[in-house]
Amino acid sequence: MQLGLHESAAWTWQDLLTLCKPRVVVVMLVCALVGMALATPSLPSLATVVFGLAGIGMAAGGAAAFNHVVDRRLDAMMLRTSQRPLASQRMPTVLALGWASLLSIAGIALLLWQINALTAWLTLASLIGYALIYTAFLKRATPQNIVIGGVAGAAPPMLGWTAVTGQLGPEPLLLVLIVFAWTPPHFWALAIHKRDEYARAGVPMLPVTHGEAFTRLQVWLYGWLTVAVTLLPFVIGMSGAVYLLGVMALNLRFMYWNWKVWRGADSKAPLAAFWFSIRYILGVFGVLLLDHYAGLWAM
């Protein structure tokens, strides 16, 4: 069927999932699960894993849906995001707002009811940090938007940890620091690739405000910061040799791509570095987990 000029396709159930940025949330849940595992020498209880991940996942999905609501006009201005359910105007804003609220309330309530208050409030703080502070204010205000906003995105491993223990400590904060340091190379690599779109939409991302060369250097420097931070679990005795070997291999590849970005000779490097950054963060949390159980089996 051909659509007229002012008609648009109707929304589908699939769009409700799209609003939740499911692939981002799945990676966050992997980080949360590793946080849970590292918090205990035995296995975390099945109830903690199921209710904890469901609560954190619903809250993160709800936060992502709020992001779609707040950013709907901005998303419509960029090719990468223009086909989103709200940006393309195939879904009513009020429906997305209801969905975001439902998921967020259900997620926080589940954590309060089945997990613990600390995890529920920290999750709520992350939700507000991303959906409101980052999306509605920082994103439009400063090129440091993703550095500050990164705190919210980095929270899942800590949320997993507190779901098991009910308290904070240096280890969960270190896990947060890893994702926090990784966020600038992760995002700025993509932002270099999408610089013109951000410029046209008037979003003050770093490559727009400070130029591509400066951003390439920042990817390289934050890359080194990430490398340094990923060595800390070994340095403080939280993880062992399996982790150290694994993370060194990952860091080698990570810095290869960040170096390619920094040099600026290969125009395909920023997008490749962005995609590798996702495999990298999964890899770092994967080897943390592997090392944890390898250490336990060896005892």
Ligand X SMILES: CC(C)=CCC/C(C)=C/CC/C(C)=C/COP(=O)(O)OP(=O)(O)O
Q: Which residues bind ligand HEM (CB under 6 A)?
A: 23-24, 27-28, 31, 80, 134, 146, 149-150, 153-154, 179, 183, 186-187, 190, 278, 281
**Which partner, ligand X, ligand HEM, none, binds residue 203 by CB below 5 to 8 Å per kind?**
none
CA distances for 105 relative to 1, 58, 61, 154, 162, angstroms: 39, 9, 11, 21, 19
User: Do the beta carbons of residue 186 and residue 225 sit within 8 Å?
Assistant: no
**Which partner, ligand HEM, ligand X, none, binds residue 71 by CB below 5 to 8 Å per kind?**
ligand X
In the shown chain, the binding pattern of residues 25 to 44 toward ligand X, with x for contact by CB under 6 A and - for none, equals x--x----------------
CA distances for 98 relative to 54, 83, 102, 110, 148, angstroms: 19, 20, 6, 18, 27
Q: Exactly one of 34, 39, 59, 229 binds ligand X (CB under 6 A); which one?
A: 59
Among residues 79 and 228, whose Cβ is nearest to ligand HEM?
79
Least gap, CB of 247 to ligand X (angstroms): 23
Among residues 34 and 115, whose Cβ is nearest to ligand HEM?
34
Structure-token pair, residue 79: 């090719």
Q: Exactly one of 29, 53, 87, 130 binds ligand X (CB under 6 A); which one?
A: 130
Least gap, CB of 231 to ligand HEM (angstroms): 19
Position of tokens 């592997």? 290
**157 forms part of the interface with ligand X (CB under 6 A):** no
Least gap, CB of 274 to ligand HEM (angstroms): 8
Q: Exactly one of 119, 126, 162, 258 binds ligand X (CB under 6 A); which one?
A: 126
**What gap in Å lies between CA 221 and CA 218, rounded to an integer?**
5
Q: Closest by alpha carbon to 130, among 227, 34, 193, 65?
A: 65
Among residues 1 and 146, whose Cβ is nearest to ligand HEM?
146
User: Do the beta carbons of residue 257 and residue 272 sit within 8 Å?
Assistant: yes
Which residue stretch of 7-15, 152-160, 219-227, 248-256 sits at the interface with ligand X (rule: CB under 6 A)? 152-160
Structure-token pair, residue 259: 């170096």
Q: Exactly one of 19, 34, 71, 176 binds ligand X (CB under 6 A); which one?
A: 71
User: Position 14: which residue type?
Assistant: Q
What one-character DSSP code corresponds to residue 44?
A: P
**Which partner, ligand HEM, ligand X, none, binds residue 23 by CB below 5 to 8 Å per kind?**
ligand HEM
**156 forms part of the interface with ligand X (CB under 6 A):** yes
| DSSP letter string, 2-41 | ---TT--PPP-HHHHHHTT-HHHHHHHHHHHHHHHHHT-S
User: Position 213: which residue type?
Assistant: A
Least gap, CB of 135 to ligand X (angstroms): 6
- Residue-wise burial string across 25-48, b where 16 or more C-beta atoms lie within 10 A, e elsewhere: bebbbbbbbbbbbbbeeeebeeeb
Least gap, CB of 19 to ligand HEM (angstroms): 13
Chain residues binding ligand X by CB under 6 A are: 21, 24-25, 28, 59-60, 63-64, 67, 71, 81, 123, 126-127, 130, 135, 139, 152-153, 155-156
